[in-house]
Structure 1
Amino acid sequence: MQEIIIFGAKSIALGAYLAIKELYCGYRVIGFMVSSMRGNSDVVCGLPVQEISHYKDKTIPVLVAIPEEAQERVADTLKRQGFEKVICLTSRKEAELMSRYYNKTGKFRGIRESIIDVYAAKFHRDRPLRNSYTLPDWVKMIQVGAALTQERVADLTDDTGENISGKNVNYCELTALYWIWKNRLCEDDGAEYCGLFHYRRFLDISDEDVARMKQNKVDVILPYPMIHEPDIREHHDRYVREDDWMAMRQALRELQPSYAETYDRIFGQQYMYHYNMLIARKEVLREYCQWLFPILERTEELSRPKGCERADRYIGYLGENLLTLYFMYHQESLNIVHTGRIMLT
């Protein structure tokens, strides 16, 4: 955790503190620095406000968050007094920082309001990342399997509203997708796209790519498929029991016979979408969820033992196969594009 001091104790400094606290989990503001206590409070947001002479550790970075016309003078003073790293929060940097803060908190709409909401699934026993990352404003962590524990690892949880959080032991990250379907896709919040990531697996997509998605009328973004030898069955032989696979096929025949007819062709090729990750237009994602979850529910009923009697993640694995089936089936009817997959460490 990198400690930082903010020079200033008025509105610019206060905004900078709140934005850093919200956006940068790898930084911790330890206090506010001023040239003189005259006209300043002793405490801002629960942190001390103290004169320059109080701060003895000159290696701690100082962010100068005061009106821009005074920043150069203050920065020179701090450097003469031995502070090794002084950063000025220029008006342009402040505008960018506060734009990100307000977009993240949703308190005020911005001119660059995001058209996308992506939820990254995180389980309470997931391995911590060794490195710190700054996530895009449009990515929100959601705790999956929240109904199974009192521990909280994210502000959003999949046990609110209409949910299947208690099934996470079999559904894995798909309990987050179900929550998105039932609790977010019905909202008119300005976002045109919605998606699902994993806390350490992301699609390689930038803010510029997001803008191009709308311009190019993209329906779905998927990770480039993984290649299997001799075909996709190599994957399900490793991760899915044959009787579970047959239960899924039976569910397809009962509920979606047209997809069942293309089953052998699609699963007889080498390319498969892994990890249940995607971004899609809301209406496309809604249609996919309406197709997917009844099949998975019926598969649970046909399984031996039934889904409610086990905890082996098999539905999550089957979900990867069904995602592949669905979007391979719709290759011609949907505008599907692909990007790389990034693994956070």
Structure 2
Amino acid sequence: MKIKILVAAHKKFPMPNAEGYMPILVGAAKNYKPGIEYQRDDEGENISSKNPNYNELTAVYWAWKNLKDVDAIGLVHYRRLFFDSKPYSLDNVLSIEKIERLLTEYDVILPKKRNYYIETNYSHYIHAHHKEPLDRTREIIRKNYPQYLSNFDKVMKRRKAHMFNMFIMRKDAFESYCSFMFGVLGKLENIIDISEYSIQEARVYGYISELLMDVWLETNSFTYTEIPWGQIGGKNNFKKAVSLIKRKFGIKAKTHFK
């Protein structure tokens, strides 16, 4: 089985040396600096110029349109990866052998769900970001993808979700996922105005896509398993928890931490 795991990065950073991992520079034209020898997301058919709004999804789009001779495709981030074991270091990233074993049994590999405890997925999103894009996403699904609507509503009411835009998928699942996700996001892009959004909020399509994963997964018949993930340099869990509580009560707070 030929497997490629994209490691999305916007700068030079230590990368896994394990077989199958492919560092990819997102927003390549803007972020390239001499000495960065990663795959670029602006080669072939691409949406690299939309990286400020789509985040790491420009790497996913590049793979969707340009990686044709593979059996499975994955996405991790330069600091956030799947691991075989602790300690979470580049020497312990999930091996291609284990990935292949898992993909003989499952179609999709995902990180363990994130639990918001005091928030639903919907309330968490609208307390952290602009409300309109998520409401418009529901309209798009209702009009264009009605078979997904009931699961969209179910996912919004839950307190857990597969977040982070991290996954490994067999090629047929990946094709299905990209077709749905980019279809929805393309329509959303055509009907919302983000010209007054802050730099952080302008990443809206990347944020929305995180909530589409479970909607897609539960509407289709693909099987999945969850595995541990870790972050090089720690997860800032305490800061995230404090920020979550502040936003719950209408106090402005950061939504993302390095």
TM-score tier after normalising by the smaller chain length: 0.7 to 0.9
4+ runs deviating over 6 angstroms? none
Match of 1:202 in 2: 81
Q: What is the Cα-based RMSD across aligned positions, in Å?
A: 2.2
Aligned with residue 300 of structure 1, among 180, 184, 189:
189
SS of residue matched to 1:259: helix
SS of residue matched to 1:274: coil
SS of residue matched to 2:230: strand
Aligned with residue 44 of structure 2, among 158, 161, 176:
161
- TM-score, normalising length from structure 1? 0.59
Match of 2:90 in 1: none
Match of 1:322 in 2: 212
More helix by share: 2
Are 1:269 and 2:148 matched, yes or no? no
Match of 1:40 in 2: none
Instruction: State the distance in 1 between where 2:123 and 2:139 align.
Output: 20
Instruction: State the distance in 1 between where 2:212 and 2:102 align.
Output: 24
Match of 1:47 in 2: none
CA contact (8 A) 1:196 1:277 kept: yes
How far does residue 149 in structure 1 lie from its aligned partner after superposition?
A: 4.2
How far does residue 214 in structure 1 lie from its aligned partner after superposition?
A: 4.2
How far does residue 261 in structure 1 lie from its aligned partner after superposition?
A: 2.9
Match of 2:129 in 1: 240
SS of residue matched to 1:276: coil
CA contact (8 A) 2:111 2:227 kept: yes
Match of 1:175 in 2: 58
AA aligned opposite 1:206: S
CA contact (8 A) 1:300 1:306 kept: no
How far does residue 227 in structure 1 lie from its aligned partner after superposition?
A: 0.6
How far does residue 198 in structure 1 lie from its aligned partner after superposition?
A: 0.7
AA aligned opposite 1:338: E
Change (3 A) 1:263 1:133: closer
Question: How many correspondences in the alignment?
Answer: 219
Instruction: State the distance in 2 between where 1:149 and 1:337 align.
Output: 34
Instruction: State the distance in 1 between where 2:37 and 2:15 align.
Output: 16
Query: Larger Cα Rg: Structure 1 or Structure 2?
Result: 1
Change (3 A) 1:154 1:199: farther
Change (3 A) 1:256 1:168: same
| Percent sequence identity over aligned pairs | 29
Aligned with residue 223 of structure 1, among 105, 108, 111:
111
Aligned with residue 19 of structure 2, among 137, 140, 147:
137
How big is each residue's C-alpha offset from its partner over 1:36-94, in whole Å with a ceiling of 9 and x where there is no partner?
xxxxxxxxxxxxxxxxxxxxxxxxxxxxxxxxxxxxxxxxxxxxxxxxxxxxxxxxxxx
Gaps of 5+ in 2: 84-93, 234-258
How far does residue 207 in structure 1 lie from its aligned partner after superposition?
A: 3.7
